[in-house]
């Protein structure tokens, strides 16, 4: 798993809201929102939802990865 870039606090908030509302299905919802944004031609929101999808995936991981300080 690659490190996840977090652009701003709102991405973390969106990920937390999806996790609280949907549990394990949060990552699927973020992926669906990204796909809808791409289909609509909204590149900015596509990238944002993909970032949130990766963040949810990272937060759901039980193991440490990369450099641990």
* DSSP secondary structure string for all residues of 3-60: PPP---HHHHHHHHHHHHHHGGGHHHHHHHHHHHHHHTT-HHHHHHHHHHHHHHHHHH
Domain boundaries defined on the chain: 30-60
More confident residue, 40 or 8: 40
Q: pTM of the full predicted structure?
A: 0.85
Give the mean pLDDT of 3-7.
Answer: 74
Query: pLDDT (tens digit, 9 = 90+) per residue, 15-66?
Result: 999 999 999 999 999 999 999 999 999 999 999 999 999 999 988 887 776 6
CA 59, 62, 3, 37 dihedral sign is negative
Work out the pLDDT band at 69, boundaries 50, 70, 90: low
């Amino acid at each position: 798993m690659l490190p996840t870039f977090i652009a701003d606090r709102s991405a973390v908030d969106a990920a937390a809201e999806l996790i609280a509302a949907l549990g394990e299905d949060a990552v699927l919802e973020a992926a669906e929102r990204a796909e809808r944004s791409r289909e609509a031609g909204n590149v900015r929101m596509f990238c944002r939802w993909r970032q949130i999808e990766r963040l949810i995936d990272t937060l759901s991981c039980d193991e440490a990865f990369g450099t641990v300080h």
